[in-house]
Amino acid sequence: MKPLQQNIAICDIGTQTFRLAIVNLDESIPRVICSEISHVRLGQGLSSTGVISDASMKRAIDALNGFHDILSSHNCPFTRAVATHALRCSANADLFLSLASKTGFEVMVISEEEEAKLAVLGVTSTIPIGQKALVADAGGGSTELTILLDGKLHCSKSIPIGCVTLTERFLKEDDPPSQQEQQRLTDSIDSEIKKTLDPTEIIPEQVIGVGGSATTMASIWLGLEQYQPEKIRGLKLTKQEIDSLWNRLSGLKLISREKLPGLSQKRADIILAGIAIFKNLIKNLFVPHITITDGGLLMGLLIDTMQKEFKIDVKPSHTAGLYI
């Protein structure tokens, strides 16, 4: 068992963003020391080339070097880093892992199933879950759909659609996107959702959105000048509200989207694809709203680490006011 009363670091290496959290475990109670995000866009061009580009590789290693400097100033003897879609799919993933190791990060590439499990762990630790729920974790390169029954994972499926890959395929010609581009985007998402969700299987009563696209949607809707996860956790967005967001943002040029409260400039070009995923998901599932939570993969990774590495019995009181 690892000693308590120490700082630990967890890192989520995604297709769009890298996230780092340093958490102090004092008497088994987690307390966030710092939380960092870097919009690396590791998966830029990956869907067409099959490899991580030199420019993306450089941005990624620069980000990890920056994270390492932060770790050095906080005395973190334990670090756990996981990577998802981009490194599962790239032909040169081994090169990235080798370069990452030189920055001090031993990165584990996790499977789609493990990614879904960690996201569910983060979700169930932060918001109430109904009897039949679907967790939609929309990332940069893929979207993980997970069915929960009574709060337990029943099954999960991965759809090869993400905000980065969809933007590169459908929204690169016109600014703002033309009606033809918007229709091709919608048709592609609809097709993937219908291929993945079997109407004869369990129909969810609750849909939960996690990941950067989901929390950004909530931030824009609330008009937050600064990211405030305590206001986002548990927020319900109705079909009409999501449609309203889409109608508003899809008519704006990129330069105008970049100025919107709640929207990072580095996510402004891909947010339309992110909203479109949830817009079409709620339409196909016939649910009245989507519940948003900040408690996704990174939160799940923290809880999983506390349980497995430090043998801490994580209770709701540990995560009720924990934001990373």
- CATH code of the domain in which 190 resides: 3.30.420.150
Q: pTM for the whole thing?
A: 0.94
On average, the pLDDT of the chain sits at 94
In a domain, 118, yes or no: no
Residues 29 and 49 in one domain: yes
Q: Measure the CA dihedral 225/173/164/203, to 10°.
A: 90
Residue 296 pLDDT greater than 80, yes or no:
yes
Tokens at residue 298, please? 């990174």
Residues 234 and 159 in one domain: yes
pLDDT value at residue 200: 63
Cα(60)–Cα(55) distance, integer angstroms: 9
Residues 106 and 232 in one domain: no
Taking residues 261-274, report their average pLDDT. Answer: 97
Residue 266 pLDDT greater than 90, yes or no:
yes
Residues 156 and 261 in one domain: yes
In a domain, 255, yes or no: yes
Residue 4 pLDDT greater than 80, yes or no:
no
In a domain, 313, yes or no: yes
Residues 288 and 305 in one domain: no
pLDDT value at residue 5: 64
Report whether 141 contacts 162 (CB < 8 A).
yes
- Name the residue among 293, 208, 216, 289 with its Cα closest to residue 249: 216
Tokens at residue 191, please? 């097709």
- Please name the amino acid found at residue 95: L
The β-bridge relationship of strands 107-109 and 132-138 is unpaired
Count the domains in the chain. 2
Residues 49 and 160 in one domain: no
Q: What is the pLDDT of residues 99-143, one digit of tens each?
A: 999 999 999 999 999 999 999 999 999 999 999 999 999 999 999
In a domain, 78, yes or no: yes
Residues 184 and 76 in one domain: no
Residues 77 and 131 in one domain: no
Residue 320 pLDDT greater than 90, yes or no:
no
Report whether 147 contacts 249 (CB < 8 A).
no
Tokens at residue 43, please? 């998966």
In a domain, 159, yes or no: yes
- Please name the amino acid found at residue 242: I
Instruction: Please give the residue that has the higher pLDDT: either 231 or 197.
Output: 231
Strand partners, 149: 132, 152
Residue 97 sits in a domain whose CATH number is: 3.30.420.40
Residues 188 and 286 in one domain: yes
Residues 93 and 192 in one domain: no
Residues 131 and 187 in one domain: yes
Residues 91 and 20 in one domain: yes
The β-bridge relationship of strands 107-109 and 78-83 is parallel
Domain span at 206: 127-292
